[in-house]
């Protein structure tokens, strides 16, 4: 079962993404916690693409593809912006240090890596793609 969505690179598109993912997963008998984790992870990656890779340029777009194969969810988020966006390799931030410094932000990808089984960023041609996967028991 596969479903796709194209959105403009605008923060206002994030609700559409959350609704799309939640609707897609609603056909499965999944615990709410699992659905919420997947929605949160995809929302974070899409927000990073919109804000950091595309500067909220509404003339740019992202494609989302969700595929469910038996018990494995695969998500592909393709960015068609003008720049390649490959986040730094995952490093678990020191939460005490973050709190001590009063830092805000920078925790999203650490959260995504905890919520999903696999997180990969790569290029396809001159576009950036993020692939997320999660085994759904």
Neighbour-count burial of 47, counting CB atoms closer than 10 A to its CB (0-12 exposed, 13-18 middle, 19+ buried): middle
- Structural contact between residues 72 and 1, judged by C-beta atoms closer than 8 angstroms: no
Question: Residue 121: pLDDT above 70?
Answer: yes
Closest to 49 (Cα-Cα) out of 128, 117, 136: 128
Mean pLDDT of 35-48: 97
Percent of the chain with pLDDT over 90: 68
Name the residue with higher pLDDT: 89 or 37: 37
Cα gap 135→108, rounded to integer Å = 21
3-state secondary structure of 32: helix
Mean pLDDT of 110-131: 93
Q: Dump pLDDT digits (tens) for 65-77.
A: 999 998 999 999 9
Q: Which residue has the tokens 């927000």?
A: 47
- Structural contact between residues 135 and 72, judged by C-beta atoms closer than 8 angstroms: yes
- What is the pTM assigned to this prediction? 0.87
Q: Dump pLDDT digits (tens) for 77-120.
A: 999 877 777 676 655 656 566 556 665 556 788 899 999 999 99
Task: Check residue 97 and give its pLDDT.
Answer: 61
The structural domains of the chain, ordered by start, are 2-135 (3.30.565.10)
Mean pLDDT of 115-136: 94
Task: Check residue 104 and give its pLDDT.
Answer: 58
């Amino acid at each position: 079962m596969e479903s796709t969505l194209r959105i403009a690179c605008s923060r206002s598109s994030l609700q559409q993404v959350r609704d799309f993912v939640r609707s897609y997963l609603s056909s499965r008998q999944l615990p709410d916690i699992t659905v919420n984790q997947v929605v949160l992870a995809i929302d974070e990656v899409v927000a990073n693409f919109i804000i950091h890779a595309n500067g909220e340029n509404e003339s740019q777009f992202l494609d989302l593809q969700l595929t469910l194969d038996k018990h494995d969810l695969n998500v592909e988020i393709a960015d068609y912006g003008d720049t390649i966006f490959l986040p730094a390799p995952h490093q678990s931030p020191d939460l005490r240090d973050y709190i001590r410094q009063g830092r805000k932000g920078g925790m999203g990808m650490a959260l995504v890596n905890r919520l999903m089984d696999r997180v990969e960023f790569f290029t396809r041609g001159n576009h950036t793609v993020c692939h997320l996967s999660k085994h759904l028991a």
